[in-house]
Amino acid sequence: MQDEKGTVPIMDLKHEKMGEITLIQVSGSIKMGDSAYRFSEYLEKVLQVDSIKKVLLDMSEINYMDSMGLGELIGHLQRFRDQGGRIGLVKPTKRVFTLLQLSGLDEVFPIFEDRQAALAAWG
């Protein structure tokens, strides 16, 4: 995803509400430094909204995630669970899915092939 200058931003986050579910579209890279911090800060803001209990992260446009990004994801999974919420992942890229498999997190996070499957399962 390129910006108006033709460069690829480190990370971009957008969300939309779909009934009881908040869908967050993540694109770019989530890695040590500013992008991991922004990712964490964004999830923290979502967590603070009392009405949000179900969050789907659309990961179809993530081109890179390092251990720091993975750590932020794991940390927020537990924080959402502690407040009675849940986080699911939608269509992680092959690179991200391999990282999830290697770390065993593909067994921890619900992973959906597409938005429709996720919404049908959680809606």
pLDDT band (50, 70, 90) for residue 108: very high
Give domain 11-122's CATH superfamily: STAS domain (3.30.750.24)
Residue 110 scores a pLDDT above 60:
yes
Residue 7 scores a pLDDT above 50:
no
Domain ranges of the chain: 11-122
27-58 pLDDT, tens digit per residue, is 999 999 889 999 999 999 988 887 788 999 99
pLDDT band (50, 70, 90) for residue 8: very low
State the number of CA atoms in the 13 A half-sphere of 53 facing the CB: 8
- Pick the more confident residue, 6 or 110: 110
Closest CA to 113 of 74, 58, 61: 58
Long-range contacts of 39-42 (CB under 8 A, 24+ apart): 39/11, 39/13, 39/69, 39/72, 39/73, 40/72, 40/75, 40/76, 42/13
User: Considering the entire predicted model, what is its pTM?
Assistant: 0.87
